[in-house]
Amino acid sequence: KNQVEQSPQSLIILEGKNCTLQCNYTVSPFSNLRWYKQDTGRGPVSLTIMTFSENTKSNGRYTATLDADTKQSSLHITASQLSDSASYICVVSARSGGSYIPTFGRGTSLIVHP
Amino acid sequence: EPEVTQTPSHQVTQMGQEVILRCVPISNHLYFYWYRQILGQKVEFLVSFYNNEISEKSEIFDDQFSVERPDGSNFTLKIRSTKLEDSAMYFCASSKDRVEEQYFGPGTRLTVT
């Protein structure tokens, strides 16, 4: 069964500090991995998308890495801001024939304190 | 900046009633999706739609659910006979291509009583 596990479940950091969120998956056959930011009560917003051949991708202060061999990804946030407080969701899509089925992780809840 | 819109923002319905949730995807997008998120739980994929037909659907998307693109702008999700467990936030999303960035709408909170 395809699964996506994220850690930690929650994280509290001080404004200005860096942090790294982890995602492990058992999705097969792998198509792509996405990181989303979801503010409470809002729809997810895409941060990065990576395919099998990509091992790092940046979007401003967000940098995602992918190790397709160990089936792990991380999201690094640099110089955190109060507005970074949100849930960060890892989504891995499997490709079956012409179909792409996404599996969502439960998310890491990040709180940034002043 | 173009965005996905959803109506209504909150829908309350009685068990057994039919509901239709509406979405207007971004105009030049070709792929459309519905997801749901039960309160406190993870987002779950329901269905994807391309070229006027379903391209993928999950186990959740049973015969009680249907999707339609009735005109050139709207994309709807119909739940035929709602159950208490259908209470959730329903998100619509769209993308230009299936491996490109998906843009999510603000969601419709469905409450079944």
Task: List the single residue in A with minimal CA-CA distance to B41.
Answer: A106
Q: pLDDT at position A95, please?
A: 82
Q: Which residues contact B16 (CB under 8 A, 6 or more apart)?
A: B81, B82
Contact present, A29 and A96 (Cβ < 8 Å): yes
Q: What residues in A contact B102, CB-CB < 8 Å? A: 34, 46
Contact present, B20 and B74 (Cβ < 8 Å): no
Q: Is B50 touching A (CB cutoff 8 A)?
A: no
**Exposed/middle/buried for residue B67 (C-beta within 10 Å: 0-12, 13-18, 19+):** buried
B91 with A51: Cβ contact below 8 A:
no
Mean pLDDT of chain B: 95
A32 with B48: Cβ contact below 8 A:
no
- Only one residue has tokens 């391309």, namely B50
> Strand runs (DSSP E) across A3-107, as ranges?
4-7, 10-14, 19-25, 30-38, 45-51, 56-59, 62-67, 72-77, 86-96, 99-104
A residues 29-88 closer than 8 Å to B (CB): 31-32, 34, 38, 41-46, 49, 51
Q: Which residues pair with A23 in a beta bridge?
A: A6, A73
B30-68 confidence digits (pLDDT tens) = 999 999 999 999 999 999 999 999 999 999 999 999 999
Per residue of chain A (114 residues), give pLDDT as tens: 889 999 999 999 999 999 999 999 998 888 899 999 999 989 999 999 999 889 999 999 999 999 999 999 999 999 999 999 999 999 999 887 667 889 999 999 999 999
